[in-house]
Structure 1
Amino acid sequence: MTETFRVWAPVPRRVRVLVDGATSAMEPAGGGWWQSTVDSAGPGSRYGFLLDDATEPVADPRSLWQPDGVHGLSAVYHHSYEWSDQSWPGRALPGGIVYELHIGTFTPDGTLDSAIGRLDHLVELGVDFVELMPMNAFNGVWGWGYDGVLWYAVHQPYGGPDALKRFVEACHQRGLAVILDAVYNHLGPSGGHLDEFGPYFAGRTIWGPTLNLSGPDSDEVRRYVLDNVTSWLRDFHLDGLRLDAVHALSDNRAVHILEEMAAEVDVLSAQVRRPLTLIAESDLNDPRVVTPRPAGYGLAAQWNDDIHHCLRAALTGERRGYYVDFGSIEALAKALERVFFHDGTYSTFRRRHHGRPVDTLTTPAHRFLAYTCDHDQIGNRAAGDRLSTHLSVGLLGVAAAIVLTSPYTPMLFMGEEWGSRTPFQFFSSHPEPALVESTRAGRIAEFAEHGWDAAEVADPMDPATFQRSKLDWSEVDSAPLLEIYRKLIALRRSYGQLSDPRLDRFSVDFNEDERWLVLHRGDLRVIANLSTEPRTVRIAGELLLTNGPSTVDSEATTVGGECFAVVQVKDR
């Protein structure tokens, strides 16, 4: 049994590989690569690289398995898992519903295997995609995963690489597609050694060092990213990736790294004969992210924070921080009809004009994800408080109805479907004392910019912050909101009008003073009352009631709540 070890390391003059306690010299293999074949090595063998005269080995930048964490040795891992999902046809994003979750807090045990036991809940709910927050190996035991440093390895406390494959397989068996959150805009602050191997870095973001995507010697750095993208999709049978904060990618090439990703994923999709999806998180409000190549980057979709901001501010009255421009019913109606509220308008929070209009005649709405909350919009609040902390079941139903009957791709965040009362706070578990203090200070400084006092900020390094953020599944049995979510999702399934992505066939009426709006979805009307008082809504002589289930005629289909109704109106 032999194993060949390869690593790209153009910076050091000498590279050795330590395998199961024995050191072997590596030979140059061209282009900055080094290679060595070692006898008696195979799956499970622990190894690391010794650079120049170093006496302490460092992990493989392309490590697939870190059994002892990011500061430990890598372990040889072969993609030899025996899959049983060969008949899985995949799932395209249009018409689908996404459910975002964090493995560490989704169940009490916080592992991929324990999460499998809750998948039937998602099937009964009616969602199509499970979106996992980052799985890459990061420093510590628990955290959000956005400070990963070994992008090819699955975080061991979640179960490691085989556990992710078991989870994906279990999802496919139930008809659920799986999307993974992938972070390429920065590395975490601890456990990373990429810069010791080669010219991987080219500056910093507010979160950490950013990659050299367009400077000298950047070809292999880009390859590092592109190979990681295709490896997740091919080797772990994932159905898509959510690309974190793509606005922070620093790339000045004529062909942007996002365009390259999309092109390579299209090729891979043809090879594996199933849909593969790339979804961006972008703060740019730029439709070019999802515009087909070559005019745009050609990604399948992007998150749309503007709809979230409009909805939350309208329902809660919150105006501090980046919510300052949002909150009116008119703003919500604009974002629903035209995708972005800031589409070239002045942003008070940014103190500049922001965004670009979307061509609603040619751009389908399924390219934008709409949501009442996500991990950022809860966890990046001082207390990690959910909408359920502030709103009645009726108003939570209003928020759900607007998102789930809109032309956009709906996304839910774990627990929102039953109005979870547990917070989702920012937590981390760095073992280094200096990093602990800098993380605490950084969170306080960040929240101060948004108007929160230091006393309101949960301590990210306190284990109790992590424990508080775990879902309480005992709440489900007495949650009236869950039935509303199930009915709304079933209604979206039953009526093609509600998943129609054509924005030119969609319109919104609203009344600012009475705080109601109506979504026109073919012959369906979604009437949402955002006030706390009953309302009677009349549009062009058509009477629509929103203070409970209402009917326009005896054959109307109705799903109603305390503050909203979905009614079918026959042609007069």
Structure 2
Amino acid sequence: MTAKSITYWGCEHVDANTVRFHLWASGQEQVSLRLNDETLAMHPTGDGGFDLTVDYVKPGSTYSYILSDGTAVPDPASRAQQGDVNGPSLVCDPDSYVWRNTQWRGRRWEESVVYELHIGTFTPEGTFRAATERLPYLASLGITMIELMPVSQAGGNRGWGYDGVLLYAPHSAYGTPDELKAFVDAAHGLGLSVVLDIVLNHFGPEGNYLPRLSPDFFHPERMTPWGNGIAYDVAPVRQFITDVPLYWLKEFRFDGLRFDAIDHITDSSEKHVLEEIAERIREEITDRPVHLTTEDSRNIISLHPYREDGTPELFTAEWNDDLHNAIHVLASGETHAWYRDFAHQPEKWVARALAEGFSYQGEITPRHREPRGVKSIDQPPVAFVDFIQNHDQVGNRAHGDRLLSLIGEKRTKVLLAALLLSPHIPLLFMGEEYGETRPFLFFTDFHGELARAVREGRAKEFADHASHQEEGVPDPNSPETFNRSKLDWDKLNQPEGESWLNFTRHLLELRQQAIVPLLATARSGGGKVLETGPGCVAVTWTFPRGTLSLAFNVGGHTEEMPDLPGETLFAWPEIHTELRPDTLIVRLAPGETH
């Protein structure tokens, strides 16, 4: 047997009645399996692994691993938990859910309008089942892709999901694996793609027993901002990490994944673990398009090569924090913390991001005083996911302020229209479509010393943020912090919410009718920045199928209208011959008709 064929992790169904349990526990001399009420010794494999084959194991059986000192721990590769992250794991039947929409073959990437949501705060109930009931609303709005914030089992019942420790198990507070499958299935039936945000750069602080099971799982000299760095070059570790994305894509039929903070995935292997993951996905899933996006503060494009036919070789697109940060400075005037890099002439940084992808393409940043980024103008426009707010940019404010609360309705609508009618892939954060003003706060469900450390750390985090210290920072562990972050669905029944929703719906209709057709043959950014006055941005993109132009003013003075070719596609609040404050215009000139 070669090393590559060894299975180190998980609960493997050999046949309908037989289950083989695998565990890599190089830090333990002996391990036992507690299956329901029976304790069975596991067999060492000689390479730090243990396994045991058991007959007549029923789905729903509970199991834990018993360490040398008698401690019971869950399976690190658990597919489901009976309760919280510290309790026993459950044996799952991978065939228990009967899929209804088996003919689903996905949607093209250029059609994507991404809607990011957090299961726990999207509905009052905070469950997969309750979120499923809201899917027709999203489909009727014009959303084409739902992006779930991480749902892997994490400590406590409340949290953003980025501190997961059981990376294969859906969070039990949200529901069962079958209820998550039903969510994806129902979305497909409505024509909605579903992608999942996953975290492969660290493990959360509560319920992570891997250091006791296998200390070699983590690199002894490498740290991330959230915990120990992972040793991706160790064979059992690499198997665990590379199998996670394939598991979610195959078992739950997700249409893609978003990889969190990949700049903190440091791998010294000959082939970087992220390249291996992307290659495996492209090789093993060929019956539908799979959309893979990354979050990476380095502004690199090496993981996003595109073929001549416009299809991605590895990853599909990059979350474009540059665009958000620059546009936030331009519209709000805030220049603290990470916004410092965009404080000088923010309109130029916004225009460059829209035209070329990244704002920083090798320039030295004021905040870190070192170069950041590479040239990105040759990337297709769909290689960038843009947003004017998301979970990070709202939730990482001390009080979770949404953009509408900061800059007002007129200016926010200008930015929303610019987002939805640009040639980049747009992302909306839940509630943005109807003008939600409730905050999205940072919340956790830790206890004791860990709760105190998180509370104090959160307060220190805002040391260089404008005046937040004076107001204090909400306690992340308070249930009230979590409850305040739930969406206010009643606002949809009010005139203001209905007006916002109609505004968003109209923009999404225009996008599908006029913008998406331009993108199928767009092979490079094609953007040109036009000269405008302070507070204004104007960009023209030339594609084989047409020329798209966009200009807006969020400054305090009326400026001359730049030369925008074509007919007016959209203007807000109305068409003018000059670019007045808090206005926007989009024009479209046809190109090739064949």
Q: TM-score, normalised by structure 2?
A: 0.88
In structure 2, what is the equivalent of residue 565 of structure 1? 585
SS of match in other structure, 2:355: helix
In structure 2, what is the equivalent of residue 556 of structure 1? none
| Separation (CA, whole Å) in 2 of partners of 1:449 and 1:562 | 29
Moved more, 493-502 or 73-82: 493-502
User: Is the counterpart of residue 56 in structure 1 residue 71 in structure 2?
Assistant: yes
Superposition deviation, residue 281 in structure 1: 0.8
Provide closer, same or farther for how the CA distance between residues 519 and 5 of structure 1 changes in structure 2, counting only shifts above 3 A: same
- Matched AA of 2:232: L
Q: Is the contact between residue 179 and residue 238 of structure 1 (CA under 8 Å) also seen in structure 2?
A: yes
| Separation (CA, whole Å) in 2 of partners of 1:122 and 1:543 | 30
Superposition deviation, residue 256 in structure 1: 0.4
In structure 1, what is the equivalent of residue 226 of structure 2? 207
In structure 2, what is the equivalent of residue 548 of structure 1? 573
Superposition deviation, residue 493 in structure 1: 0.8
The match for 2:526 among 500, 505, 519 is 505
Residues 480-523 of structure 1: per-residue CA shift (max 9 Å, x gap): 22222211111111114654644453323241336353545634
| Separation (CA, whole Å) in 1 of partners of 2:26 and 2:130 | 42
Provide closer, same or farther for how the CA distance between residues 532 and 520 of structure 1 changes in structure 2, counting only shifts above 3 A: farther
| Separation (CA, whole Å) in 1 of partners of 2:358 and 2:457 | 30
The match for 1:112 among 117, 125, 128 is 128
In structure 1, what is the equivalent of residue 7 of structure 2? none
SS of match in other structure, 1:495: helix
| Separation (CA, whole Å) in 2 of partners of 1:44 and 1:389 | 47
| Separation (CA, whole Å) in 2 of partners of 1:395 and 1:326 | 19
Moved more, 229-238 or 524-533: 524-533
1:84-123 equivalent positions in 2, closer than 5 A: 84-123=100-139
The match for 1:347 among 348, 351, 365 is 365
| Separation (CA, whole Å) in 2 of partners of 1:97 and 1:569 | 23
| Separation (CA, whole Å) in 1 of partners of 2:572 and 2:171 | 48
- Matched AA of 2:323: I
User: Is the counterpart of residue 282 in structure 1 residue 301 in structure 2?
Assistant: no
In structure 1, what is the equivalent of residue 504 of structure 2? 485
| Separation (CA, whole Å) in 1 of partners of 2:305 and 2:548 | 29
SS of match in other structure, 2:302: helix
Superposition deviation, residue 188 in structure 1: 0.5
Residues 453-479 of structure 1: per-residue CA shift (max 9 Å, x gap): 163322111111100100001112322
| Separation (CA, whole Å) in 1 of partners of 2:56 and 2:288 | 38
SS of match in other structure, 2:341: coil
SS of match in other structure, 2:483: helix
The match for 1:468 among 464, 484, 489 is 484
Return 5+ residue gaps in structure 2 as ranges. Answer: 1-16
Residues 10-38 of structure 1: per-residue CA shift (max 9 Å, x gap): 22111110111211011124543322123
Residues 58-83 of structure 1: per-residue CA shift (max 9 Å, x gap): 11111001121111011111211211
| Separation (CA, whole Å) in 2 of partners of 1:255 and 1:487 | 46
SS of match in other structure, 1:130: strand
Superposition deviation, residue 448 in structure 1: 1.1
Superposition deviation, residue 561 in structure 1: 12
Superposition deviation, residue 257 in structure 1: 0.6
- Matched AA of 2:453: S
User: Is the counterpart of residue 157 in structure 1 residue 173 in structure 2?
Assistant: yes
SS of match in other structure, 1:289: coil
User: Is the counterpart of residue 75 in structure 1 residue 90 in structure 2?
Assistant: yes
SS of match in other structure, 1:157: coil
Q: Is the contact between residue 24 and residue 38 of structure 1 (CA under 8 Å) also seen in structure 2?
A: no
| Separation (CA, whole Å) in 1 of partners of 2:519 and 2:246 | 30
Provide closer, same or farther for how the CA distance between residues 74 and 190 of structure 1 changes in structure 2, counting only shifts above 3 A: same
SS of match in other structure, 1:66: coil
Q: Is the contact between residue 535 and residue 546 of structure 1 (CA under 8 Å) also seen in structure 2?
A: no
| Separation (CA, whole Å) in 2 of partners of 1:532 and 1:474 | 34
Provide closer, same or farther for how the CA distance between residues 454 and 446 of structure 1 changes in structure 2, counting only shifts above 3 A: farther
Residues 427-454 of structure 1: per-residue CA shift (max 9 Å, x gap): 0011x31001000111111121445416
In structure 1, what is the equivalent of residue 52 of structure 2? 36
Q: Is the contact between residue 528 and residue 546 of structure 1 (CA under 8 Å) also seen in structure 2?
A: no
Q: Is the contact between residue 259 and residue 297 of structure 1 (CA under 8 Å) also seen in structure 2?
A: no
- Matched AA of 1:563: T
User: Is the counterpart of residue 528 in structure 1 residue 574 in structure 2?
Assistant: no
Q: Is the contact between residue 350 and residue 537 of structure 2 (CA under 8 Å) also seen in structure 1?
A: no
1:345-424 equivalent positions in 2, closer than 5 A: 345-358=363-376, 360-361=377-378, 363-424=379-440
Moved more, 517-526 or 18-27: 517-526
- Matched AA of 2:231: N
Provide closer, same or farther for how the CA distance between residues 490 and 498 of structure 1 changes in structure 2, counting only shifts above 3 A: farther
1:187-202 equivalent positions in 2, closer than 5 A: 187-198=203-214, 199-202=216-219
| Separation (CA, whole Å) in 2 of partners of 1:252 and 1:454 | 44
Q: Is the contact between residue 448 and residue 454 of structure 1 (CA under 8 Å) also seen in structure 2?
A: no
Provide closer, same or farther for how the CA distance between residues 255 and 463 of structure 1 changes in structure 2, counting only shifts above 3 A: same
The match for 2:455 among 419, 440, 447 is 440
| Separation (CA, whole Å) in 2 of partners of 1:441 and 1:206 | 16
- Matched AA of 2:84: G
Q: Is the contact between residue 183 and residue 243 of structure 1 (CA under 8 Å) also seen in structure 2?
A: yes
Q: CA RMSD in A?
A: 2.5
Q: Is the contact between residue 301 and residue 369 of structure 1 (CA under 8 Å) also seen in structure 2?
A: yes
| Separation (CA, whole Å) in 2 of partners of 1:98 and 1:213 | 30
| Separation (CA, whole Å) in 1 of partners of 2:51 and 2:19 | 11
In structure 2, what is the equivalent of residue 537 of structure 1? 561
| Separation (CA, whole Å) in 2 of partners of 1:11 and 1:542 | 68
| Separation (CA, whole Å) in 1 of partners of 2:45 and 2:351 | 59
- Matched AA of 2:424: Y
Q: Is the contact between residue 458 and residue 465 of structure 1 (CA under 8 Å) also seen in structure 2?
A: yes
Provide closer, same or farther for how the CA distance between residues 391 and 499 of structure 1 changes in structure 2, counting only shifts above 3 A: farther
Return 5+ residue gaps in structure 1 as ranges. Answer: 553-559
Residues 192-223 of structure 1: per-residue CA shift (max 9 Å, x gap): 11122222111431212221112xxx011011
Moved more, 404-413 or 323-332: 323-332
Provide closer, same or farther for how the CA distance between residues 330 and 149 of structure 1 changes in structure 2, counting only shifts above 3 A: same
Provide closer, same or farther for how the CA distance between residues 343 and 38 of structure 1 changes in structure 2, counting only shifts above 3 A: same
| Separation (CA, whole Å) in 1 of partners of 2:116 and 2:246 | 21
Q: TM-score, normalised by structure 1?
A: 0.91
Provide closer, same or farther for how the CA distance between residues 488 and 510 of structure 1 changes in structure 2, counting only shifts above 3 A: farther
| Separation (CA, whole Å) in 2 of partners of 1:524 and 1:304 | 20
Percentage identity across paired residues of the two chains = 36
Q: Is the contact between residue 320 and residue 450 of structure 1 (CA under 8 Å) also seen in structure 2?
A: yes
In structure 1, what is the equivalent of residue 63 of structure 2? 47
In structure 1, what is the equivalent of residue 160 of structure 2? 144
Instruction: Count residues with an aligned counterpart.
Output: 553
Q: Is the contact between residue 258 and residue 299 of structure 1 (CA under 8 Å) also seen in structure 2?
A: no
